[in-house]
Amino acid sequence: MSESSPLVERLLQSDVLQAEWVLYFLLLLLGAEIVVVLWKVIYFIRNNRQAEATRSAITALVGGSDIDSFVEQIAEMPGIEAAVMRHALHYRANGADVVEQQLDVASSSAQQRMELGLTFLGTVGSNAPFIGLFGTVLGIIKAFRDLSLETESASAAVMAGISEALVATAVGLLVAIPAVVAYNYLRRQVKQCLTRSGALSQQLLFRLRVAGSED
């Protein structure tokens, strides 16, 4: 049997080509993924509840309530929609067109904040299976190396090594699938929030233009 080159032998004996570190890395990604998902889900649940108060205030404003009272009311409101309008209303003295521009600016800024963490989830969902596959390949390499060194029970050793190597692929899928599901769900939440914010902003602009035409 031909012997491996010194370089290959050193690589086979190094920690870099051991599958165990891949499993630890995947478990680390899983922990980080859980933290990000919980953070973003709680964030959107709270914002959806906070948006109800903003919607009620806008409804009252369109119904004819005083704009100055609305500005004071919205100054105390939490939530993305309220923050967008609060920013734009600082410029209401410059007219409705300027307010509309600032609503767009504030919406873009809010979108960036809402999308924090989503890139991480998308990256994990796309690459975790390949990381798991990498661990499996490393495990199979080790199993065949052990086969070349074993004289007895060689088949059993190889089968055990391969079965252990396949765990990395399974863990990679375990990490990736929830990440993809969470990413799609959170992207939908961002879209719904922006749509709701846009609708409320249009109502605000309508009221400002009506008030401007009455002056």
**Model pLDDT for residues 112-159, shown as the tens digit of each residue:** 999 999 999 999 999 999 999 988 888 787 777 666 665 555 566 666
**Residue range 180-190: average pLDDT?**
95
The end-to-end CA distance of the chain, in Å, is 96
**Residue range 159-173: average pLDDT?**
80
Close Cβ partners of 193 (under 8 Å, ≥ 6 residues apart): 44, 47, 48, 51, 80, 81, 110, 114
Cβ of 9: how many Cβ atoms within 10 Å? 12
Most distant pair of Cα atoms in the chain: their distance:
97
- Delimit the domains of the chain by residue range: 17-214
Closest by Cα among 52, 57, 58 to 202: 58
Q: Any idea which of 7-21, 98-112, 127-141, 196-210 has the lowest mean pLDDT?
A: 7-21
Cβ of 5: how many Cβ atoms within 10 Å? 9
Q: Which residue has the higher pLDDT, 15 or 70?
A: 70
Place of tokens 């846009």: 198
pLDDT confidence of 209, banded at 50, 70, 90?
Answer: confident
Query: Do the beta carbons of residue 188 and residue 39 sit within 8 Å?
Result: no
| pLDDT for residue 12 is more than 80 | no
| pLDDT for residue 186 is more than 80 | yes
Residue 16: CA atoms inside 13 Å, Cβ hemisphere, count? 6
pLDDT confidence of 2, banded at 50, 70, 90?
Answer: very low
**Whole-angstrom distance, CA of residue 75 vs CA of residue 159:** 66
pLDDT on residue 130: 93
**Residue range 152-167: average pLDDT?**
68
Cβ of 99: how many Cβ atoms within 10 Å? 22
Closest by Cα among 89, 95, 112 to 200: 89
User: What is the residue type of 46?
Assistant: R
The pTM (predicted TM-score) of the whole model is 0.81
Q: How far is CA 56 from CA 27, 62, 74, in A?
A: 45, 10, 11
Q: Which residue has the higher pLDDT, 57 or 159?
A: 57
* Gyration radius (Cα) of the chain, Å: 28
pLDDT on residue 1: 42
